[in-house]
Structure 1
Amino acid sequence: MFSSKSMKCNGINKYSYRYSVSASTKIQVSVSYLFEKKWYQSIPKKKKSPQDTHMVLVFIPLSYRLPTALVPVSYNITLWPRLRPDPNTGLYIFTATSSRAISPYRKVCKIRCSGEIYILYASADGGGSAPSIVSSWMQPKTQYLITQLNNKLTQGQKYQLYTEFTGELADDLAGFYRSEYQEDGVRKIVATSQMHPTHARKVFPCFDEPAMKAVFYITLIHPPGTVALSNGMEKGNRFNCVSVLFSEIVNTTIDGIAVTKTKFEPTKKMSTYLLAIIISDYTHLSYSQGDTLIRIWARRTAIEQGQGHYALNVTGPVLDFFQLYYNISYPLSKSDQIALPDFYFGAMENWGLVTYRETKLLYDPLTSSNRNKETTATIIAHELAHMWFGNLVTLQWWNEVWLNEGFASYVSYLGADHAEPAWNVKDLIILDEVHRVFAVDALTSSHPLSSKEDSIILPDQISEQFDVISYSKVHRAYYMYSITHYSMKNSDTRYLSHFAYSNTVGNDLWNHLQMAVEANNVSLPRPVNDIMNCWVLQMGFPVVTIDTTTGKVSQKYFLLDPESNIKVKSPYNYEWLIPVRWMKSGEVQRDIWWLMEKEAVNLEMCNDSLWVLANINITGYYRVNYDHGNWERLITQLNSEHQVIPVINRAQLMDDAFNLARAQLVSTTLALKTTSYLLMETEYIPWQSALDNLHYYYLMLDCTEVYQPMQDYIKKLVTPLFLYFKNMTSNWTHIPDRLTDQYNQVNAIRMACRTGVTECQDLTTTWFKQWMDSPQENLIDPNLRSAVYCSAMAAGGEAEWEFGWWQFQGSSVASEASKLMSALACTKNKTLLERYLSYTLNPAMIRKQDATSVITSVASNRVGHSLAWDFVRKQWEYMFTQYGVGSFSFASMISEVTARFSTEAELQQLEEFVEENSAVGFGSATLAVKQAVERTKANIKWLHQNKQEILDWFNSQIQA
């Protein structure tokens, strides 16, 4: 029935096909998507049929978006992936049929959708007649399928558009793809999917835009003994009481091949990017919570080892929390979550069938760390938050990615906190979200949260929107205006209920928040829309400066490089409406004071003897600067009784000071002075903030004469912390009770070993040697393994590296393999690092999903930085064309590989790299490349201006 011959042309799959007869015309169908705005002329070839011969000349204006005159109602899709290669071509293929119910809002004679190459015909529902198909063709520079009809479709009538097609089940991790793994010495194949954001069109012809929602009826044909999963419950599943008597999971034969055919319940009305289809040899854990069946799917070995139990146990409480928080029941009958061996993203919120990397979903109680456990809890909370915010109510277009991702990031911490209240994960938002987004949003190459719809069109442009700005900035802005817990929850419920199964824009959310504010008589200085849009529609953030001698409070657009040229105009002239929470020494936190102009005066902040501290607990998305006297009073307080200042603000004082120094708003010496109190600090959040900021100093200075004095100073700070945890854990024999203490224990060991504390280095090399002597018995505490492995690999030679590589290859636990994969990049042996980089070109050695992680890990090693950069320059074209959807991670790779650039020679290399690869392109890393150039220029200036001052300060501290 279907041909399997295939070839690749310019990275796009092209499949052979045969013609199908509809009414009077044989047709050929191809698809692309719009890449440029111009008029396009299409001249289809002659097609002969028994009834007519004709040539069609069509002129159409290319549009950036699918027309809204025609919308999908439902899809009926049958997919049959072959989990063995075709004996003639060696390719893995899938065959399929698809019937789309479509309905015109007005009369049209052309059908446009997205897809690959198909054959099709049309019919009308309800007994009416359908226009015959005159011709179908592909617009070469688009991903549009254009179908020309001989008559117009009738408004309000439903039509069926039928297609048959063949595709390749490739290993490109996009669309419907192939994942492979070894289990008990047997090579196994998983057919799985990743439709987000624009890959559904690779699988079946569809209206591949988030606003064009429809119901999906899915049937999967698969080998007997395998399991088929999709968004809906399998019909005939024993948990489905209605259909169990009429099972639609049947064994049959097709063309003499024994197969199982599984039909699924229809989905809710949803976007194409949320569709999921998976066939595997997996098994699962399950339990029912109310009317919802919860299942965790993974490799049989992983399930047998208990790696799915934690995810199963945490899912129920998280679902319960969101149902209460939104006051809307979970709308599906089941919640499947599955761990995939090959998956580029951390996770994907497919409605009812969430897909994960194995490291994100699976937790092994014997080998995984509590950091792995926290990651599993928070990412499950993030994806389940999407079941309502993103899936039930969906963004209108990709120019407002924050509307899906930002809110999910915000509430994921609330869900994880409900599931694991002892962790206090909400405090980690400052490190994980705020500090991370500050670093990018302080560049002129940042971008607003919302852009114009017609500026985000191409798939690469869409992928670029999924960055730290969209995920992390909005949830801090949103939190600033969580005026009362009730009003926020109430507005979310009204918003979700009002727009259920449809799409929204950002202002819809603000309007419902305004309704809640008014209903609860909350006083705001301006309407919610005005307050929020100054954060959403302009990029960047302010620095608020408080002069305690005069009471003057002012705001200014904060840029890491104050001399950089701002090319993007702001509708608000880079001014913000800022809520300021503050306190004086010896006093409790004050109520919010609003800064609504460039400058204002608050005389209560005047004081020459008491310190003033603003942005208490970092509720606001801004940095704070003070007059020099107030800075000195705050530093004195830190050095005398640091606990008086809230722990989150201790972290923020250092982060603000270091970044204000980079922006030339305070001296570098003042920034460094904020770290001196760390001799007495034992809390994780301030320590991690300090290490994050000192990391920039390592990047800039580890190849200069400043390196050793800097090492000596940090060694002086970290030694008391190392001894503190040695005592707390009774010489490393116990695990600290608090999660943040466990994290800081890792910091103590990592930095003590890195800076040359002999006791630490002896400890880690001894532990690793004991493991090498008894490979089947790894006694290293799972929480400490990442630090111990790296330290031992850096101190060791080829024997340690080969042992680590052997353990990596044999690990059946993804989190353990991930720790080893990072540690292998810690060696100081350049030959081993070069070999390791070469492995990323071979998916049998390093999976495609992990290739960029290996490269960035090598780049973070001061010995491996230049090797990683040379490798990226040499292999860019190969990686760009072969990594498929993995290019999504190119942005972070470019950022990490260029992070150390601080010389004119490196800037020249970077600019030459950009020029040499302009024809190849940079895809989703385009913005990251611009940011790398901007950062490098800023680094060059910073190093020239600050190196001597830093050297002098470190020397003075070591000699003291």
Structure 2
Amino acid sequence: MPLKFGTSKAIAIAFGVLTVSSIGGMFTMIILFKAQTQNITMTPPPTLPPTTMAPPPDMRLPKSLVPQKYEIVLGNGSNPNITTPNQTMIFTGNSTVHFQCAQKTMSIFLNSRYLNVSSPVVLNENTKRNIKVSGMKHRDDESDFLELELMDPLETGGNYSLFLSFHGEVSDNLEALYLSRYTDDLNTLSLSIPCMLRFIAATNLQPTDARKVFPCFDEPDMKAVFKLTIIHRRETRALGNAAPYGKNKFLYDEWQYTIFRATPKMSTYLFAFAVVDDSFKSITSPSSDTDRNCVHFFVISLDQLALPDLYPAAMENWGLITYQEGFLLYQEGVSSLLHKEDIATVIAHELAHQWFGNEVTMKWWNDLWLNEGIATYLSYIAVDSVEPTFNIKEISIMNDLHDAFREDALASSHPLSPASKEINTTDHILGMFDSISYSKGAIVLRMLANHVGEVVFNKGLQMYLKAFQYGNVEKDDLLKYIQMAATQNRGNKAVRNTDDIAGFMNPWTTQSGYPVITINTTNGQVYQKQFLFNNSANSSHWLKKQTNKKNTRFFTKNGEWILANINCIGYYRVNYNPENWERLLAQLQKNRHSIPLLNRGQLIDDAFNLARAKLVNVTLALNSTLFLTKETEFLPWESAVRNLEYFILMFDRSEVYGPMQTYLREQVRELYNVFKNDTDDDRVPQNDHSLQYTQLLAIKLACSNGLPECVEMAKQKYAAWMERNNTNSIHPNLRSEIYCQAVAAGEKEEWEFAWDMYQTSSNTSEKEQLRRALSCTKKIWLLSRYLDYTLDPEKIRLMDVASTIYYIAQNSAGQALAWNFIRANWDYVSQGDGAMLIAGVTSRFSTEFELEELMRFQNYDLGGASRAVSLAIEQTQVNIQWVKENKDDVLRWFEQKTSSVRQKEY
């Protein structure tokens, strides 16, 4: 799972089904039934005599039973199929799970949620005798335990099976087994032919939703083989994990059934299927060079499916990767060239999961980074290998580094590998899907690869995969095999620093946070402590346990400067004595190229964040942006803009904002002019994605800070599109910012034109750009209307609700509206990424009143977003203190830097 076309949706989805080989072209099937409201209603689980079983500790299933194989049958051919929405939707089935008894027991524990389970039959497969079930109940707590008490014990070493019948309701959220809708507008060039509303049934089971589809041992280390039999209508077909046995068999009239081969041994969360009608077509090769190259890089065969509705951006189900349409499908001439990078990165991430996550899986969710961190790191390598012109490694590394730094600088952060007992409930598990597991995991692995060398690192990964194929691991297992590879390659000159890999890595995996290394170049002293925005928090553990620096000495002479952490290999920040900072900043203005590109960006980021932690003066951070008037590379500009956005969030409701805008407008003027001719002529730099990013950043920064020629350019290009209606000459790379800036500068007409284009566009990339642009208006009543639209899935798809509200909250005119809106509609809007919602809507909070409101909000039933609220509370406390201490200095600095500009204006 990642942390993110055609003339119709039917064509788009069909081209998303990528049958790369005969194995990848095999499908599993499922049927869904529409239950007439008057005939079938959902009932609660059966009430049976209470049991005397004590619950397992820590909300975890006991290890007394080891599942080996599931035989699942879905559908019975007696109920009508789903044909129209707004009906009670029921799926039916039965399952037989075969298991071995590892410890004598009188009870069976499984996981089940929202299922009506009945007819239990326990069979001793050694003696072929049934074992009577004396009691069955569903525990009404976060464990989701389905408990069966037996009359006779299950004996150690014995082989048994459990048969259960069940039925459940198809989800109206994007979870478990859910329904997705799309419009088939094929052959509708004539307005007299109506579009047809079609449906797709799909699954999304990570992390704990398999239990909503069938009763199971729903923990990642309880792997098993899955065999599926499906009864379904003749006009339907499906995609899934494994291959069918020959052709489908017909029952009668419109019904058929399909029996599917066994899957590999895998975790329940990777079980997947999707039901489509016969209008879906598969293709036998990737639909783009990028996709094909990524598949070939990983040497893998599977199906890839683009869905109209899915949250998150993609899911790595074994043999059937599912994607939001916009993260798989690319249309030349319509999609942004830069969007191709997003697609390539997501595809590479999911392909990497076929080994790291699917074939070798973490034992428990506390080690999620062994899935997500490794897949994120390998996506850098894969995309850079197949598309070197993207120059993606540096940008991806810096994005992940800064995402991790930001979250890990709060005392409420968590280690990469917290104790397993701390992660028990589904809400705890969902909280692990964050920047720590993904971004910090990737950056720490990059540091490890540099520490031991690529030769050792790659060999260690290969040995790790071979040793644990179809098994489960903990973080020590990975480090063990990296160490073994190092030991075997000690004679290789590329191998280094390999005496104690576990000792090197444990501080980075078992502790939260990261250090700031302080270097005094005048007396040679080097020391460290944990970096925290809240410097009153306890940060002693990094000082005690991290690598000993006492023997390191840095001295300067004759005014020379020193730069540490070259190319940002280490996961830490660096601070210097004021004299060295002054020399570094002077060097940036004199000859910036003498400092590596990654470090130019990181010096800015370190300066601003050290200022936020009160380790340097805020004016030093602001001075680090002075050299940018001559800079054209993306990374330093991106670093500056991202950090200055914090200043904007803190001060755009105060008198600081005016002089700050003036400063930014003048700083970006020369950069904007570098690209002005290309921008005016709807051109972008060719074969240089970094410069394409810089061009887009220049437009955003110039227009949002009122550079007249930029605002006029955006208005004119948008107006020309409005006049020509569907004839859009704006380059796809530039549309996102030009749409946004034109809508921001416009009135009702500009907004409603964007809304009309959003509703009628069939291209996912274009729709995404328009959806963001609609949030840019400064008209409060239009933003309020847009928020209301998010409650209507016919206007804004559920998977897009959270990001739409996030966009609105980033607009100073919409932040308060968004905050009130999510509190009033939390149950609905939080079905997507509730954590992202909280982070976005609270990002401006910097007053005591806002803090009090946020703390009251903590009493809501927040589910998986509860940790995000704790982070937001801590961040708000930091913001309040920072604004109080720095506002006057920041105002004074911007006024001094812009005084000459004001004089020229007069």
TM-score for both structures, normalised by structure 1: 0.85
* Aligned: 1:503 with 2:472: yes
SS at match of 1:15: coil
- 871, 875, 880: which is aligned to 2:825? 875
The answer on whether the counterparts of 2:32 and 2:81 sit within 8 Å (CA) in structure 1 is: no
- Describe the shift of the 1:385–1:83 C-alpha distance in structure 2 as closer, same or farther (beyond 3 A): farther
Structure-2 change in CA distance of 1:396 and 1:258 (3 Å):
same
Q: Give 1:733 shift.
A: 3.4
Partner in structure 2 of residue 650 of structure 1 = 600
Q: Distance between the aligned counterparts of 1:574 and 1:147, measured in 2?
A: 51
Aligned equivalents of 2:733, 2:545: Cα separation in 1? 42
Q: Which amino acid aligns with 1:519?
A: Q
Kept after mapping to 2: 8 A contact 1:549/1:608: no
Q: 1:321 aligns with which of 297, 308, 319?
A: 297
Residues 768-807 of structure 1: pairs in structure 2 closer than 5 A: 768-807=718-757
CA contact (8 A) 2:366 2:419 kept: yes
**Residue 658 of structure 2 corresponds to which residue in structure 1?**
708
Q: Does 1:75 align with 2:19?
A: no
Q: CA deviation at 1:259?
A: 2.3
Residues 808 and 524 from structure 1, CA distance in 2 versus in 1: closer, same or farther, beyond 3 angstroms? same
Identify the residue that residue 250 of structure 2 maps to in structure 1: 251
Residue 261 of structure 1 deviates from its aligned partner by: 2.3
What does residue 21 of structure 2 align with? none
Q: Please state how far the C-alpha of 1:626 moved relative to its aligned partner.
A: 0.7
CA drift of 1:87 comes to: 9.5
- Structure 1, residues 517-555: CA drift from partner, whole Å, max 9, x if none? 111224437511111110000000001111111221111
Deviations 1:694-723 (A, max 9, x none): 100100111111111111111111111111
Please tell me whether the aligned partners of residues 685 and 692 of structure 2 are also in contact (alpha carbons under 8 angstroms).
yes
**Counterpart amino acid of residue 887 in structure 2:** K
Of the three residues 478, 484, 496, the one matched with 2:453 is: 484
Q: Assess, with a 3 A threshold, how the Cα gap between structure 1 residues 821 and 87 changes in structure 2: closer, same or farther.
A: closer
Q: What secondary structure, in the 3-state scheme, does the structure 2 residue paired with 1:845 have?
A: coil
Cross-structure match for 1:92: 89
Tell me the amino acid that sits aligned with residue 751 of structure 1.
L
Cα 1:464–1:83 change in 2 (3 A) is farther
Distance 2:274 2:529 in 1: 51
Change (3 A) 1:729 1:838: closer
Answer yes or no: is 1:279 the counterpart of 2:275. Answer: yes
For the pair 1:926 / 2:899, whether they are aligned, the reply is: no
Quote the offset at 1:363 in angstroms. Answer: 1.1
Which residue of the partner structure matches residue 749 of structure 1? 699
**1:562 counterpart residue number:** 535
1:472 aligns with 2:439: yes
One-letter code aligned to 1:343: L
Q: Secondary structure at the match of 1:388?
A: coil
Aligned residue runs from structure 1 range 1-150, under 5 A: 15-16=42-43, 44-45=48-49, 57-63=51-57, 64-80=59-75, 84-85=81-82, 90-115=87-112, 116-119=115-118, 120-125=120-125, 128-141=128-141, 142-150=143-151
CA contact (8 A) 1:557 1:575 kept: no
Structure 2 partner of 1:232:
242
> What residue identity is the alignment partner of 2:184?
E
The equivalent residue for 1:52 is none
1:517 aligns with 2:486: yes
Distance across 2 between alignment mates of 1:425 and 1:128: 59
Question: 1:21: which partner in 2?
Answer: none
Contact 2:33 2:80 in 1 (8 A): no
Of 708-717 and 866-875, the range deviating more from structure 2: 866-875
- What is the 5 A alignment of 1:800-819? 800-819=750-769
Residue in structure 2 matched with residue 157 of structure 1 by the alignment: 158
Which runs of 5 or more residues in structure 2 are unaligned?
A: 1-30, 186-194, 901-906
Could you tell me how far 1:271 is from its partner in structure 2?
A: 0.3
CA distance in 2, matches of 1:452, 1:14: 43
Is residue 801–residue 829 contact of structure 2 (8 Å, CA) maintained in 1?
no
**Would the aligned equivalents of 2:532 and 2:613 in 1 still touch at CA under 8 Å?**
yes
- Structure 1 runs (4+) deviating above 6 angstroms are 1-7, 86-89
Which whole-Å CA distance do the structure 1 matches of 2:110 and 2:303 have between them? 30
The equivalent of 1:533 in structure 2 is 506
SS state at 1:862 partner: coil
**Distance across 1 between alignment mates of 2:470 and 2:82:** 40
The 3-state SS of whatever aligns with 1:657 is helix
Residues 167-206 of structure 1 mapped to structure 2, 5 A cutoff: 167-184=168-185, 185-206=195-216
Which 10-residue stretch deviates more, 127-136 or 704-713? 127-136
Distance 1:14 1:514, change over 3 A: farther
Are the counterparts in 2 of residues 718 and 752 from structure 1 also a CA contact under 8 Å?
Answer: yes
Distance 1:211 1:872 in 2: 37
Farther-moved stretch of structure 1 (152-161 vs 838-847):
152-161
1:213 aligns with 2:219: no
- What SS does structure 1 have at the residue aligned with 2:843? coil
> Partners of 1:518 and 1:276 in 2: how far apart?
40
Contact 2:51–2:136 (Cα < 8 Å) also in 1: no
Number of the residue aligned with 2:22? none
Name the residue aligned to 2:259: 263
Could you list the per-position Cα deviations for residues 374-405 of structure 1 after superposition, in whole angstroms to 9, with x for gaps in the alignment? 00100110011011111111000011111111
Name the amino acid aligned to 2:165: E
Name the amino acid aligned to 2:151. N
Q: Tell me the CA shift for residue 735 of structure 1.
A: 3.9
User: What runs of 5+ residues in structure 1 fail to find an aligned partner?
Assistant: 8-12, 18-27, 31-43, 46-55, 237-246, 288-293, 297-308, 324-329, 578-595
TM-superposed CA distance for 1:58, in Å, is 1.7
Distance 1:850 1:407, change over 3 A: same
1:85 positional shift: 4.7
In structure 2, C-alpha distance between the alignment counterparts of 1:6 and 1:194, rounded to whole Å: 25
Which residue pairs with 2:4 in the alignment?
A: none
State the Cα distance separating 1:421 from its structure 2 match.
1.1
What's the offset of the Cα at 1:817?
A: 0.9
Identity of aligned residues (%): 41
Paired residues of 2:121 and 2:131 also in contact (CA < 8 A): no
Counterpart AA for 1:422: T
Residues 87-145 of structure 1: per-residue CA shift (max 9 Å, x gap): 99921221112111111123322111112221222334356213122221112223111
1:600 is paired with a residue whose SS is coil
CA separation of 1:430/1:878 partners in 2, compared to 1, >3 Å: closer, same or farther?
closer
Q: Secondary structure of the residue that 2:429 maps to in structure 1?
A: helix
Contact 2:244 2:260 in 1 (8 A): yes
Residues 576/783 of structure 1: CA separation in 2 closer, same or farther (3 Å cut): farther
- Check if 1:956 corresponds to 2:900: no
C-alpha separation in 2, matches of 1:14 and 1:161 = 26
Q: Contact 2:514/2:542 (CA < 8 Å) preserved in 1?
A: no
1:361-440 equivalence runs, <5 A: 361-440=328-407
1:941 and 2:881 matched: yes
Distance change >3 Å, CA 855–CA 874, structure 1 → 2: same
Give secondary structure in 2 for the equivalent of 1:434. Answer: helix
CA contact (8 A) 1:137 1:147 kept: yes
| Correspondence for 1:585 | none
Give the alignment's Cα RMSD to 1 decimal.
2.3
1:694 corresponds to 2:638 = no
Answer whether contact 1:29 1:145 (CA < 8 A) is retained.
no
Are residues 671 and 892 of structure 1, via their aligned partners in 2, closer, same or farther at CA, if it must alter by over 3 Å?
Answer: same
Q: What amino acid is the match of 1:512?
A: Y
Q: Supply the distance in 1 between the matched residues of 2:80 and 2:606 (Cα, whole angstroms).
A: 54
SS of 1:355's partner is strand
Q: Which amino acid aligns with 2:116?
A: I
SS of equivalent residue, structure 1 residue 508? helix
Q: How far off is 1:321 after superposition?
A: 2.6
Amino acid at match of 1:136: M
Q: Number of residue pairs matched? A: 845
- What's the TM-score once normalised by structure 2's chain length? 0.90
CA contact (8 A) 1:700 1:939 kept: yes
- In structure 2, the CA distance between the partners of 1:3 and 1:93, relative to structure 1 (3 Å rule), is closer
Distance 1:427 1:573 in 2: 27
Contact 2:483–2:498 (CA<8 Å) still a contact in 1? Answer: no
- Indicate the SS of the match to 2:849: helix
Partner of 2:8: none
